[in-house]
Structure 1
Amino acid sequence: MNSFRHRLRTVIGLPALCLLVGAAGCSPADGGASVAVPRPGATATKLCENLDKVLPSKIDGLSREDPEPASTLTAGWGGTAIILRCGVPQPPKMIDPKVAEGADPDAVAGGVNGVDWLMEEQDDGSYRFTTAGREAYVEVSAEKGRDSSGPLVDLAPAVKKAIPKGIAS
């Protein structure tokens, strides 16, 4: 009888232990997405902090869920669906539009509601957008399959309010 109880506890206990370990591995305490926090200079940092204060709580229908580590230089919506990083370095593909030679055919520039963006399709089918003509560079990554204009339309008022037109240093 003792042997039967021991086997019964083992049979019931093992799945329960696996369930407990699995649930702990998925807990919110783990943090969500992990994003590299930019390290801009003092001027860009202040602009990015101002941007963080005016960012919308929803973008393209997704609620704000900031990535780890917590920072006023990063924001997220819908987990990893849309990630914003403020104070990033100038993208290598961003060149003076007057310079025709050396332009990257895969990089597309365009404006959305008064904010100019450089659009780059990534190898995995996602997109990265970086502001142009602003005193700090703001990068927005949108996962594959997401309409690229939705997040930019929703972000334009905040970017215009917090990041003045000019040349990032």
Structure 2
Amino acid sequence: MDFFRHRRASFIGSPALVLLIAATGCSPADDNASAAVPSPGTKATKLCQNLDKSLPRKVDGLDREDPEPRSALTAGWGSPAIILRCGVRRPAEMLDPKASTTVVNGVAWLVQERDNGSYVFTTGLRRAYVEVRFSKEQAGKGAGPLVDFAAPIKKAIPEGIAD
């Protein structure tokens, strides 16, 4: 977690309360730009479709290159890809009071470092859970891309508790 602690002060913001913050445990982003498509309920699917329309063409200077299979519930930028999945399930770590959390421009995130050095960030306190995965290489550049996701998430996914 040295990467995250180092970057927290520079552009992440203050820690958020872990209660009711959500995340999912899935495999980290990789060079083949593929992502499992979540299967949320109808309400979350509509919110995620709205998010897809609001996502930026560039994130941290990287062009949008959506992963396979194509879906309004997944998006990607660059290579190795930054992968966004909307409508993921809440992970068990969400309820752990010792879990690492942060707030970036008004969006609360659960932070999970994987064994391979990649990171998974998942929103909490929103009506649908949004997950962003950074490869080890991307994580070495910092968590700045979370800033690019804050405005679209706040616009498309209202605050609240996901079903």
Corresponding residue number in structure 2 for 1:74: 74
Corresponding residue number in structure 2 for 1:129: 121
Deviation by residue 1:109-167 (Cα, 9 ceiling, x = unmatched) = 11000000000001110100000100000000011132342110010000000000000
- Find the structure with the greater CA-based Rg: 1
Q: 2:146 aligns with which of 138, 152, 157?
A: 152
Residue pair 2:33, 2:81 contacting (<8 A) in 1 also? no
Aligned counterparts of 1:75 and 1:63: Cα–Cα separation in 2: 11
% identity of equivalent residues: 62
Give the superposition deviation at 1:33: 1.9
> 1:155 is aligned with what amino acid?
F
Give 3-state SS (helix, strand or coil) of 1:110's partner: strand
How do residues 104-119 of structure 1 correspond to structure 2 at under 5 angstroms? Answer: 105=98, 107-119=99-111
Q: Is 2:162 the partner of 1:163?
A: no
Residue pair 2:128, 2:162 contacting (<8 A) in 1 also? yes
Higher relative contact order (CA 8 A, sep 6+): 2
Gaps of 5+ in 1: 1-31, 96-101
Number of aligned positions between the proteins? 130
TM-score under structure 2 normalisation?
Answer: 0.76
Deviation by residue 1:68-93 (Cα, 9 ceiling, x = unmatched) = 01100000000442000000000110
Residue pair 1:88, 1:138 contacting (<8 A) in 2 also? yes
Corresponding residue number in structure 2 for 1:55: 55
Corresponding residue number in structure 2 for 1:21: none
Aligned counterparts of 1:64 and 1:89: Cα–Cα separation in 2: 24
Residue pair 1:66, 1:76 contacting (<8 A) in 2 also? yes
TM-score under structure 1 normalisation?
Answer: 0.74
Aligned-residue Cα RMSD (Å) equals 1.2
Gaps of 5+ in 2: 1-31
Corresponding residue number in structure 2 for 1:20: none
Aligned counterparts of 2:117 and 2:33: Cα–Cα separation in 1: 19
Aligned counterparts of 1:145 and 1:51: Cα–Cα separation in 2: 26
Runs of 4+ with deviation above 4 angstroms: none
Deviation by residue 1:12-48 (Cα, 9 ceiling, x = unmatched) = xxxxxxxxxxxxxxxxxxxx52210000000000000
